[in-house]
A and B are shown apart, each in its own frame.
Chain A
């Protein structure tokens, strides 16, 4: 089952996690060391943030030897964008009808 949208939105509502997504969205799986490099945030904090992203289904984790590798999964975010697109299209239709209604 897909994570609820609220979980996905909550996972996205943090600057450190958005920065992690930006790093991972390049497509290459990265280790915690690679993700911590150049960041002021501690390894423990990064690990915690990655767990949140994992629970939301935005990040997948796989093992290579002793190392955990983290990879970006765009599907949950794509789902939200598509949903809002549907709502957006319906408002476009409703407002077009309002326009012809008040302008006639």
Chain B
């Protein structure tokens, strides 16, 4: 549950993998694309924008763009983006983006990853509706993924 008066979402997850393994999965744009379901057109370079295409079923025609902010090896990776900025007819560049930060810490069993996305107070209200629509779809797809996974294992 999020804090009521918060403009941000904070997450953390324990990973049974080394810090350098996780760092690679975050900052190598091909590896990032594997789990984030986006095919990137180039590498992540601090201060530079990079485009990609969503590989999520049903959204393949959509462009995805981030501006990489910080790359502090094995510590911090951050970028800005426009959440749900997927309508090709809308120019989102005038809107203030949200900031996504990945922070890594070494633990005994692997790595602790903290993710913060902040700046939601600046996101236009109408984008909310779209978020709901996408999420409905997301759940349906997620259930299918689980089904397929279980079927393979059986």
Chain A: residues with CB nearer than 8 A to chain B? 2-6, 9-10, 12-13, 18, 77, 79-95, 97-103
Beyond the given pairs A91-B11, A93-B142, 5 more chain A to chain B contacts, judged by CB atoms under 8 angstroms and listed by A's residue number, are A2-B125, A6-B122, A84-B6, A94-B36, A97-B37
In chain B, what residue has the closest Cβ to A3?
Answer: B125
Interface size class on chain B is: 35 or more
> Looking at chain A's contact residues, is the secondary structure mostly helix, strand, loop, or mixed?
helix
B112 to chain A, nearest CB (A): 12
Residues of B with C-beta under 8 A to A90 = 134-135, 138
B83 to chain A, nearest CB (A): 7
A-B contact count (CB 8 A): 92
What are the 9 tightest A-B residue pairs by CB atom distance, in nearest-first order? Answer: A9-B121, A102-B17, A101-B35, A97-B35, A84-B2, A86-B131, A98-B35, A86-B135, A83-B128
Chain B: residues with CB nearer than 8 A to chain A? 1-2, 4-7, 9, 11, 13, 15-17, 21-22, 25-26, 31, 34-37, 83, 113, 115, 117, 120-125, 128, 131-132, 134-135, 138, 142
Residues of A with C-beta under 8 A to B124 = 4-5
